[in-house]
């Protein structure tokens, strides 16, 4: 889990791809999660503003704690329970 979060967070600021950095970072992060047996993290549209607001201080400081907490809060506990069965 930590490895996938560590991977997604720097991507948006690197400008590797034109106009898809955050989406590509989430896509790759979810691939890591699924490969390790965890569910994908879905970023609900109603929380997009919150995500964007948390990304701004991350860009400035590189501190991943708030983003990690936010991303984990987007996990659906029901899916985790089903995957453990």
How do residues 22-65 score in pLDDT, each as one tens digit?
777 788 889 998 888 888 998 899 999 998 899 888 888 888 89
User: What is the average pLDDT across 5-33?
Assistant: 68
Give just the sign of the alpha carbon dihedral 44, 49, 53, 55: positive
Question: Long-range contacts made by residues 26-34, C-beta under 8 angstroms, separation at least 24?
Answer: 29/4, 29/5, 30/4, 32/3, 32/4, 32/7, 33/1, 33/4
Burial class (CB in 10 A: 0-12, 13-18, 19+), 39: middle
Whole-model pTM over 0.85:
no
Give the per-residue pLDDT at 3. Answer: 59
């Amino acid at each position: 889990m930590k490895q996938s979060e560590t991977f997604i967070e720097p991507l948006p600021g690197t400008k590797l791809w034109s106009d898809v950095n955050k989406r590509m970072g989430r896509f790759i992060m979810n691939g890591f999660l699924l490969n390790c047996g965890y569910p994908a993290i879905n970023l609900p549209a109603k929380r997009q503003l919150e995500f964007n607001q948390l990304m701004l201080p991350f860009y400035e400081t590189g501190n991943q704690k708030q983003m990690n907490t936010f991303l984990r809060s987007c996990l659906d506990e029901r899916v985790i329970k089903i995957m453990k069965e």
